[in-house]
């Protein structure tokens, strides 16, 4: 008789499976980060030889690139599992569905957004962002991008049963993403003015804590509704 899976053993099995699948299509995994780089490069080319303007818009451009690249990868969060029947197995598992959703969202964030975070210092240098503002930008992205992924997981779960839901997914997710974008980019703007940016960062941290608790449960409920 096989032992009942625990939270950590099921998480390890899901992470191993996701990483194996990611290795098979490793070219697709870099698409969000490459898309974000393309957005930043296009902004830099469009603004031309205006260093002052580039410095002023750099935080907003980097945050917009992060949001758009997250939207690009959002449709793949649960779509493959819905098509191959894995989500039904998740629902039958003795492990809570919300836990599996949280693990999948964490892996998805790590594989699609962490490469962008690694590239952010180079992109900030391209836009001429003052180096003193870079720690605030990285802190905001480190808090804000997991929050975006958790919010996106709820939206992706709501649209599992719909075909060609890419546009609808973006329309539903963008209103939820706007406050994160405002507080993230705004904290860098406040730091640029010489003020304390901790207020915006603390709001992002509070939002992340609430999302860690509520978003997996909401996404699991949406999956159950969509598959029943």
Reported as a single tens digit per residue, the pLDDT across 193-220 is: 888 889 999 999 999 999 999 999 999 9
Q: Collapsing DSSP states into helix, strand and coil, what is residue 158?
A: helix
Distance separating alpha carbons of residues 37 and 98, to the nearest angstrom: 33
For residue 53, give the H/E element and its range: helix 51-74
Distance separating alpha carbons of residues 68 and 74, to the nearest angstrom: 10
Q: What is the pTM of this model?
A: 0.89
Sort residue 128 into left (φ over 0), alpha (ψ -120 to 50) or beta. left
Instruction: Please list the ranges in the chain whose pLDDT falls under 50.
Output: 1
Q: Which of 83, 63, 60, 81 is nearest to 71 (CA)?
A: 63
Instruction: Indicate the angle between helix axes 7-24 and 97-112, nearest 10 degrees.
Output: 40
61-91 pLDDT tens trace: 999 999 988 888 887 788 777 777 788 888 8
Distance separating alpha carbons of residues 79 and 175, to the nearest angstrom: 22
pLDDT of residue 53: 83
Domain boundaries, the chain: 25-227
């Amino acid at each position: 008789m096989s032992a009942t899976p625990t939270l950590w053993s099921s998480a390890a099995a899901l992470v191993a499976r996701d990483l194996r699948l990611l290795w098979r299509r490793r070219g697709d995994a870099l698409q969000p980060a490459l898309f974000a780089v393309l957005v930043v490069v296009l902004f830099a080319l469009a603004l031309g030889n205006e260093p002052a303007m580039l410095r002023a818009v750099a935080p907003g451009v980097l945050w917009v690139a992060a949001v758009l690249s997250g939207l690009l990868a959002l449709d793949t969060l649960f779509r493959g599992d819905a098509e191959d029947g894995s989500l039904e197995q998740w629902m039958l598992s003795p492990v809570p569905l919300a836990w599996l959703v949280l693990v999948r969202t964490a892996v998805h964030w790590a594989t699609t957004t962490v490469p962008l975070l690694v590239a952010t210092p180079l992109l900030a240098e391209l836009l001429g962002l003052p180096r003193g503002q870079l720690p605030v930008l990285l802190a905001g992205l480190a808090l804000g991008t997991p929050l975006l992924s958790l919010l996106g997981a709820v939206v992706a779960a709501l649209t599992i049963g719909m075909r060609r839901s890419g546009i609808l997914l973006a329309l539903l997710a963008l209103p939820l993403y706007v406050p994160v974008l405002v507080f993230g980019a705004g904290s860098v703007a406040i730091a640029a003015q010489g003020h304390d940016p901790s207020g915006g960062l603390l709001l992002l941290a509070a939002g992340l804590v609430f999302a860690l608790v509520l978003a997996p449960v909401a996404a699991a409920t949406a999956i159950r509704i969509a598959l029943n």
